[in-house]
Structure 1
Amino acid sequence: MRSYRRRLLVVPALLCAITSLVARPVDAVGDGKGGPNHNGTGGDSVLSARVVKLYEDAARATERYQAGRQEAEAQRAKALRIEKLLDRERREIGVLREDLGRLARAQYRSGGGMPLTAQILLASSPDQLMRGQHVFSQTNLAVGNAIDKSRRAEARLTRDEARSAAAWESLEKRNTELARLKKGIEDKLEEARWQLQGEADASVAAGSCPGAVRLDQKKTDGAGAWVAPVRSYELSAGFGSGGLRWAHRHTGQDFAVPIGTPVRAVGDGQVVKVACGGAFGMEIVVRHANGYFTQYAHLATVAVDQGERVDTGQWIGQSGTTGNSTGPHLHFEVRVTPEMGSAVDPVPWLTKRDVPVG
């Protein structure tokens, strides 16, 4: 493994080569208040806060929607079980009807359908007549019970079918409402995202970073000494990959996230650079106690000022697509100096600090 000293020796040569190919971002002077490239307005804090709030609303709506879908799946499974029970009830009713037919036929064969006068005339003895009447009474009782049982079963079946259909209809209606609510919030969020990006593009085009937009972070969500720069993401361009948009090789790891996603400081440190313009658009560089620097680029807003101390997991900005960017993402670098040309692969660097990326 090459030593850091050897890397530092080749940094000047790399900087000269890269400077000739890629325009350097406009740096802010480290005065601790944003430097001359900051207009001191604090940016559009209302819009930034609205984007963060809509993210939270969308997350809650998504949770409710997913819970509704899970409930729907549970209801679907329950409906299938009920349908099996209903099928069994239908089969039982069919059996009862067959029994009724069998009893009626048996009653007819045993003379149950014969008038009482004919039975008296044809009976060979009073005992035969009494036995016939007893069988007739028992048969009539069995037929009556079977008819009553069949009617109760049919009423229960009708009631269960109606209850099942009503429950399913209610659940579908609720899920439709949840889906509509979720889409409404997402539409508002998407509109706010691009409004935020439009303002960021205007600032970058003017080469003037707005002042820090203070985001209302209820709780620093860093569980350990180090965290990933964004909470939820998909990896896109990796370290060292080739591409027409880079002068040589890709110098960081890209995290594909929507515009306005809160970006976190991966570790404790101090902001040494806040800049706008150039290939990286709106960017932040943080120095850490272990001698490394981390860069966060293509932002839509910055939430810290140059010279400010930051904690692990603290929101320092919001992702965007400013500068040399083909779409919304966070460009994240780990460097041995604050300047470009000294980057190391950030994925194994984070992995060694118990932050798996992938």
Structure 2
Amino acid sequence: MRSPRRRPPLVPVLLCALVVFVSRPSGAFGGDGITGSGISAEVARLYEDAALATQQYEAGRRDAEAQRERARHLEGLLDGRRRDIAALHEDLGRIARAQYRTGGGLPVAARMLLSDSPEELMRGQRVVRQADLAVHREIDRSRRAEARLATDEARARAEWERLERRSAELAALKDSIQRKLEEARGRLQGQADVSAAAGACRGAVRLDQPETGFTGAWVAPVETYELSAGFGSGGARWAHRHTGQDFAVPIGTPVRAVGDGRVAKVACGGAFGMQIVVQHPGGYYTQYAHLASAAVDPGERVRTGQWIGQSGSTGNSTGPHLHFEVRVTPELGSGVDPVAWLAARGVRL
């Protein structure tokens, strides 16, 4: 459900995000001096930061799982090395026992006295030398294997520690962004409630527009969502039938114009709370209701995918969501099924 968008590399993005949050003034989230425009823009920035941090956290989690799999593979190799060393030790023990049984541990003078002939003595000496060489080779092999084992075990421990630190840093950054976003969302909704209660919008709150790069003429009204109440469904909060399609999204989610058009209406108060109506070529109108802020003014031209406001929970709303309608007139009562209307234009929800 997310439009494809090129994401920057993981480490630079997380470091930059961390610097931004440390350097932002505390007034961005509180105090009497903050403006409606400031908190709306802050929520929009934090919303994007949170989405990016979540994506990077998930990428980091997948990378961590791959690292764990490599660590498990290395641990298997280390177990093999331990078995090899145990086998070397067993070989050394076998050679030592054989030398003891064949007199390999006797002094040369004693072997001369016990031997029956010089040839027998020489053969015995060759056997002893060969046994000594074999012992030394096995000892060297054992020492080299133990040194490799110690190096690999240290490398495995370092990899696990690095992995755990990275996972903790990603989780902490994601949680920090989310806490700041929740606080800013609460302030944004509070300002929207005041405007809706007064029945007067405070004017367009301009947002920095993202680079979209849409190839189609139409898009969904929000980027990431879950569909909730649909067109024509019944409910205690509607007089007859539900007149639009609801998108369950958090407060402050950027709301997009589904296509090119002109803003026909921006209003506050009533059952729809803060709302925007856009007129499109071909005689259709789209409505975006229960908003927390509006980023456009009446009469303004908008393009496909432009951020025109932020979702909220104003008016007759039980929780944060976007109420989206498609109509043949600007007024309530002329709605058509938004899901089918968008599907006919290449946008499948």
Q: One fold, TM greater than 0.5?
A: yes
Equivalent of 1:117 in 102, 109, 115: 109
CA apart distance, 1:65: 2.0
CA apart distance, 1:72: 1.1
8 A contact 2:253–2:310 mirrored in 1: yes
1:95 counterpart residue number: 87
CA apart distance, 1:71: 2.2
CA apart distance, 1:52: 1.1
- In 2, Cα distance between the equivalents of 1:324 and 1:259? 15
User: For this pair of structures, how many residues does the alignment match?
Assistant: 315
Equivalent of 2:164 in 169, 172, 183: 172
Equivalent of 1:191 in 158, 183, 194: 183
| Cα shift readout 1:96-152 (whole Å, capped 9, x = no counterpart) | 111111111221222212232221111111111011011001101111111121121
1:157 counterpart residue number: 149
Q: Please list every run of 5 or more consecutive structure 2 residues that lacks an aligned counterpart in the other structure.
A: 1-34
- In 1, Cα distance between the equivalents of 2:210 and 2:240? 41
- In 2, Cα distance between the equivalents of 1:152 and 1:188? 54
1:267 counterpart residue number: 259
8 A contact 1:221–1:314 mirrored in 2: no
Cα pair distance change 1:221/1:328, threshold 3 Å: farther
Q: SS at 1:331's partner residue?
A: strand
Aligned amino acid, residue 76 of structure 2? K
2:279 counterpart residue number: 287
- In 2, Cα distance between the equivalents of 1:201 and 1:65? 33
2:12 counterpart residue number: none
| Cα shift readout 1:25-45 (whole Å, capped 9, x = no counterpart) | xxxxxxxxxxxxxxxxxx711
- In 2, Cα distance between the equivalents of 1:311 and 1:279? 27
8 A contact 2:50–2:174 mirrored in 1: yes
8 A contact 1:123–1:129 mirrored in 2: yes
Q: Please list every run of 5 or more consecutive structure 1 residues that lacks an aligned counterpart in the other structure.
A: 1-42
- In 2, Cα distance between the equivalents of 1:241 and 1:75? 48
Question: Is 2:222 the counterpart of 1:230?
Answer: yes
Question: Is 2:348 the counterpart of 1:333?
Answer: no
Q: SS at 2:263's partner residue?
A: strand
2:344 counterpart residue number: 352
RMSD: 1.2
2:241 counterpart residue number: 249
- In 1, Cα distance between the equivalents of 2:303 and 2:89? 77
Aligned amino acid, residue 149 of structure 1? R
Question: Is 2:314 the counterpart of 1:322?
Answer: yes
- In 2, Cα distance between the equivalents of 1:65 and 1:324? 36
CA apart distance, 1:302: 0.5
- In 1, Cα distance between the equivalents of 2:263 and 2:218? 16
CA apart distance, 1:158: 1.5
1:136 counterpart residue number: 128
- In 2, Cα distance between the equivalents of 1:94 and 1:121? 38
2:4 counterpart residue number: none
1:69-84 mapped onto 2 (5 Å cutoff): 69-84=61-76
CA apart distance, 1:220: 4.1
2:47 counterpart residue number: 55
| Cα shift readout 1:174-228 (whole Å, capped 9, x = no counterpart) | 2101211111111001100110000000000011111001111043453310000
CA apart distance, 1:67: 2.9
8 A contact 1:236–1:256 mirrored in 2: yes
Work out the percentage of aligned pairs sharing the same amino acid.
Answer: 70
Question: Is 2:211 the counterpart of 1:219?
Answer: yes
Equivalent of 2:293 in 301, 326, 330: 301
CA apart distance, 1:250: 0.9
8 A contact 1:220–1:312 mirrored in 2: no
Q: SS at 1:180's partner residue?
A: helix
- In 2, Cα distance between the equivalents of 1:252 and 1:354? 19
Choose between structure 1 and 2 for higher RCO, CA contacts under 8 A separated by at least 6 residues: 1
Most deviating of 51-60 and 343-352: 51-60
- In 2, Cα distance between the equivalents of 1:344 and 1:243? 18
- In 1, Cα distance between the equivalents of 2:214 and 2:321? 21
- In 1, Cα distance between the equivalents of 2:105 and 2:271? 101
2:37 counterpart residue number: 45
8 A contact 2:251–2:313 mirrored in 1: yes
8 A contact 2:277–2:287 mirrored in 1: yes
Compute the TM-score of the two structures, normalised by the length of structure 2: 0.88
